Amino acid sequence: MDSLTQVVLGAAVAEAAFGKKIGNKAILWGGVAGTIPDLDVIVSPFFDPVTALFVHRGFSHSLLFPFIAAPLVGWLISKIERNATGMNWRQWTLLAFLSIFTHSFIDYFNSYGTGIFEPFSSYRLAFDSIGIIDFFYTIPFLLFTAWLMFYPAGHKMRKVLVWTGIIVSTLYLGYTVTNKLQIEREVKQELAARSIDYDRILSSPLPMTNFLWMVVVQDNTGFYIGYRSVFDGDTPTQYEYVKQNDNLLRRFANDKSVRGVKQFTNGFYVVEVDDDGRLWLHDLRFGGLATGAYVFSFQLKPSLNGVEVTREHPNRRFTPENVRRYWKRIGL
């Protein structure tokens, strides 16, 4: 999830556990601890572009990481807050653990993929049910958490508000899972009615809400790519077919960097040669209504040491026109 959501989530779980005892300090340190897993972005630039893909949301988002980081963070906070709150090292450690663990947990539902079993396995979990930015998840949570800060520690309204925020956000997360299952069920029915054979389906929500989804259907030569709103009902999904062109990578089949990029995309990629003769590999897992605006596009350049991989960063700002087109496609 985005940084603001992770701060709010960490603050809320810390408040639920220790707000009665330490008031707004729980929100402060919970928010700080909740950002720690994403500090991997600081070290990512020191790696080559392919390795950096796996450093982000790698070990710092694993099941093991909270058990290692929380005692250290708890010790540091206990030194900073010594004699100020009556909290001991174990309590600060538990606060840090809850905030760090929930950060990784919510990221398991995004598309990027997280190294849940690092460093023992490179498998990356991505359930693809909620966008990295989802206003309907973040804004209510943020409002409840900000509201409770105006009450003193121990006030009953703090407990009511924080648990209301946690329950609402959890129910919404469950709603995203239900949406995903419904979207995929509808798509499978459509494909069967059209007699379209396929190997697998990827469904992923676009940013901002959980109402508009990208659907990628893979067959043995390429992908059907379409967009489906939860309000489409019986309206059939319109697909654009793109060939994978994997044959363009045949000469790089044994290159470690190319294998790494393909692993990162989980096989949902297309290859193209542009008008200037440059070879590109595009990750299809992150949708956008703007044609060709891939979040992850990698240029592959043959070099003396194999293949040089560089990443292009497209312009994906929330312009008024993009937002208008987004809401229009949702059908509200």
Nearest 5°: CA angle at 98, between 44 and 118?
Answer: 40
| Helix orientation angle between 135-148 and 156-193, rounded to the nearest 10 degrees | 180
For residue 279, count other CB atoms closer than 10 A to its CB.
18
What type of residue is 328? K
For residue 321, the model assigns a pLDDT of 72
Residue by residue, what is the 3-state secondary structure of 233-277? CCCCCCEEEEECCHHHHHHHCCCHHHHHHHHHCCCCEEEEECCCC
Q: How far apart are CA 107 and CA 60, in angstroms?
A: 12
For residue 327, the model assigns a pLDDT of 79
For residue 115, the model assigns a pLDDT of 94
The residue out of 73, 97, 127 marking a domain boundary is 127
Domain-located, residue 79: yes
DSSP single-letter state for residue 132: S
Domain-located, residue 105: yes
What is the rounded radius of gyration, in angstroms, for the C-alpha atoms of the chain? Answer: 22
Helices (H), the chain: 3-22, 24-35, 40-43, 49-55, 65-80, 89-107, 135-148, 156-193, 256-264, 320-330
Q: Write out the two tokens for 249.
A: 């990578």
Q: Is 226 helix (H, G, I), strand (E, B) or coil?
A: strand
Contacts of 121 (CB under 8 A, 6+ apart): 115
For residue 289, the model assigns a pLDDT of 56
Domain-located, residue 330: no
Domain-located, residue 171: no
Domain-located, residue 187: no
pLDDT digits (tens, 9 = 90+) for 195-207: 999 999 999 999 8
For residue 293, the model assigns a pLDDT of 65
Residues 209, 231: contact at Cβ < 8 Å? no
Q: Write out the two tokens for 28.
A: 């402060």
Domain-located, residue 217: no
For residue 318, the model assigns a pLDDT of 59
- Which stretches in the chain have pLDDT values below 50? 291
Domain-located, residue 238: no
Domain count, the chain: 2
Which of 72, 100, 107, 80 has the alpha carbon at shortest distance from 22? Answer: 80
For residue 261, the model assigns a pLDDT of 93
Domain-located, residue 93: yes
Q: How far apart are CA 329 and CA 240, in angstroms?
A: 16
The residues that bridge with 112 in the sheet, in sequence order, are: none
Q: Which domain holds residue 122?
A: 3-127
User: Which position has the token pair 């070879």?
Assistant: 279
For residue 178, the model assigns a pLDDT of 96
Q: How far apart are CA 199 and CA 223, in angstroms?
A: 10
The residue out of 127, 157, 188 marking a domain boundary is 127
pLDDT digits (tens, 9 = 90+) for 16-68: 999 999 999 999 999 999 999 999 999 988 998 899 999 999 999 999 999 99
For residue 325, the model assigns a pLDDT of 80
